[in-house]
Amino acid sequence: MIQRTLMLTLVFFSIAAGAPAQTQKLSYVTGALKDAVIPNQKVAVSFQRSYPDVQNEKWTVDKGYYFVTFTDGDIKNQVVYRQNGQLDYSMKTYGEKKLPKSIRSIVKGVYYDYKIIHAQELELNKSTIYLVKLSDASMSKAVRIADGQMEEIESYSTVISPCR
């Protein structure tokens, strides 16, 4: 118990001392206290500037990259930063209603009988790539849309064949 209290105190003081006042509202929730990840000041400031209203984000670190996940309404977000605070990429996952109309019309122009299950919007190197999952009664597909061009990247049957 004393060890846990000491750890909580240390984490609190490291957040208060290491982050500017504008980033103190960030919450760093990753499960058990021993696994808590606190982004460095450059990453925290960059995140706060890009997403000032986000609360309850979850941080992890892997191979020098900071990963932060959060939900904004019904959009799931994952944002990845380098240690210097530079954005590496961001990815949003959402349903058909949130898909930009121009992207939806490209997809529905070819796959008009398919239902859009979900879409992922990837922003990387100042480019935006959309991955869209589709299905109908017998097939599931995935398409990638980049620079106004669509490419089918996955297709498989959802029908289960009877055993003979």
- Specify the domain boundaries for CATH 3.10.450.40 within the chain: 95-164
Contact (Cβ atoms closer than 8 angstroms) between residue 66 and residue 43: yes
Contact (Cβ atoms closer than 8 angstroms) between residue 85 and residue 45: yes
Contact (Cβ atoms closer than 8 angstroms) between residue 81 and residue 43: yes
In this prediction, residue 37 carries a pLDDT of 83
| Amino acid sitting at position 15 | I
pTM for the model: 0.74
In this prediction, residue 35 carries a pLDDT of 62
- Determine whether domain 95-164 maps to CATH 3.10.450.40: yes
**Cβ-proximal residues to 123 (8 Å cutoff; 6+ apart), any chain:** 89, 90, 91
Give the sheet arrangement for strand 58-62, strand by strand: 58-62, 65-72, 75-81, 87-94, 115-124, 127-135, 139-146, 149-157
Angstrom distance (rounded) from CA 156 to CA 35: 39
Nearest one of 42, 91, 92 to 64, comparing CA atoms: 42
pLDDT in tens, the chain (164 residues): 333 322 332 333 333 333 333 333 344 554 444 566 889 999 999 999 999 999 889 999 999 999 999 999 899 999 999 999 999 999 999 999 999 999 999 999 999 999 999 999 999 988 999 999 999 999 999 999 999 999 999 999 988 877 75
109-115 contact pairs (CB < 8 A, 24+): 110/150, 111/141, 111/143, 114/139, 114/141
